[in-house]
């Protein structure tokens, strides 16, 4: 009986120490991880815009700069293995698109990961009307269908945001809630998706 109590006490101490170590690790890495996510999001926004993206973007319903010459739109589209989160740059009826998170089959769907393949970068600045006509990639029909649908979703999301927050109005006054740029990188789903 005594050895069981000793074993239980030892396990409780070890568990408590491990929990304390995990808590301390989380607290010491939380700020650098957040800063890194913001830097990655800023880099992705700048890559799409092909110049330094503003650091003070205001987001309403997944849309930034809704009344400007260009807009960023983030959202999700259903894929084969789950939702595919994306970030789109809309400019003069043209779109550039990056997938920010997905669960599609590795190897088959690598073409949607801009860090592994140039497929999406090669589609940059494609007319939105032409995006729906892109050819399928063999073996990834559902994933590619999701990509084609992203252009239409982004355009609809922009239209809906402009209706809710007309351009004559100052967007920062229209909606006091703001999304952070780290959420762009994480690709959190929007309420419309």
Please report the pLDDT score of residue 175 as a whole number: 42
Confidence at residue 130, expressed as pLDDT on a 0 to 100 scale: 84
Residue 151 is predicted with a pLDDT of 86
User: So what's the pLDDT on residue 184?
Assistant: 52
Predicted confidence at residue 20, as pLDDT, reads: 93
pLDDT number for residue 187: 52
What's the confidence (pLDDT) of residue 120?
86
Q: Count CA atoms closer than 13 A to 111's CA, side-chain side.
A: 16
Other Cβ atoms closer than 10 A to 34: 12
pLDDT at 152: 87
pLDDT at 138: 57
Report the alpha-carbon distance of residue 150 to residue 74 in Å, rounded: 10
Torsions phi, psi of 181, nearest 5?
-70, -25
The confidence band for 176, taking pLDDT boundaries of 50, 70 and 90, is very low
Residue 190 confidence (pLDDT):
37
Spatial separation of the C-alpha atoms in residues 24 and 146, rounded to whole Å = 41
Per the rule left: phi > 0, alpha: psi between -120 and 50, beta: everything else, 182 is alpha
Q: What pLDDT score does 188 carry?
A: 44
For residues 14 and 171, the model is more confident at 14
Residue 3 Cα distances to 6, 7, 84, 113, angstroms: 5, 6, 53, 55
Highest mean pLDDT pick, 37-41, 70-74, 144-148, 173-177: 70-74
Write down the pLDDT at residue 88.
Answer: 92
Q: What is the b/e burial string over 131-162, where b = at least 16 CB atoms within 10 angstroms of the residue's CB? A: beeeeeeeebeebbebbebbbebbbebbeebb
The pLDDT value recorded for residue 135 is 67
Mean pLDDT of the chain, nearest integer: 82
pLDDT in tens, 80-121: 889 999 999 999 889 999 999 888 888 877 888 888 888 888
Q: How far apart are CA 66 and CA 130, in angstroms?
A: 22
Q: What pLDDT shows up at residue 191?
A: 35
The encoded tokens of residue 192 equal 């419309």
Contact 144, 136 (CB under 8 A): yes
Q: Percentage of residues in the chain with pLDDT exceeding 90? A: 27
CB 46 within 8 A of CB 53: yes
Mean pLDDT of 63-76: 91
Q: CA 131 to CA 127: how far, in whole Å?
A: 6
Tokens describing residue 149: 């649908």
């Amino acid at each position: 009986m005594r050895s069981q109590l000793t074993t239980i006490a030892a396990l409780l101490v070890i568990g408590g120490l491990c929990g304390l170590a995990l808590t301390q690790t989380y607290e010491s890495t939380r700020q650098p991880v957040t800063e890194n996510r913001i830097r990655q999001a800023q880099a992705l926004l700048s890559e799409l815009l092909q110049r330094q993206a503003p650091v003070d973007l205001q987001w309403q319903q997944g849309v930034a700069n809704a009344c400007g010459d260009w807009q960023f739109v983030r959202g999700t589209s259903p894929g084969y293995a789950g939702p595919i989160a994306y970030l789109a740059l809309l400019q003069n009826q043209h779109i550039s698109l990056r997938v920010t998170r997905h669960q599609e089959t590795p190897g088959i769907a690598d073409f949607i990961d801009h860090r592994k393949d140039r497929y999406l970068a090669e589609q940059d600045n494609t007319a939105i009307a032409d995006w729906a006509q892109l050819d399928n990639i063999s073996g990834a029909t559902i994933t590619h269908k999701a990509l084609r649908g992203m252009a239409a979703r982004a355009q609809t999301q922009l239209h809906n945001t402009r209706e809710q927050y007309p351009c004559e109005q100052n967007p920062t006054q229209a909606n006091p809630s703001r999304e952070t740029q780290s959420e762009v990188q994480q690709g959190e789903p929007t309420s419309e998706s």
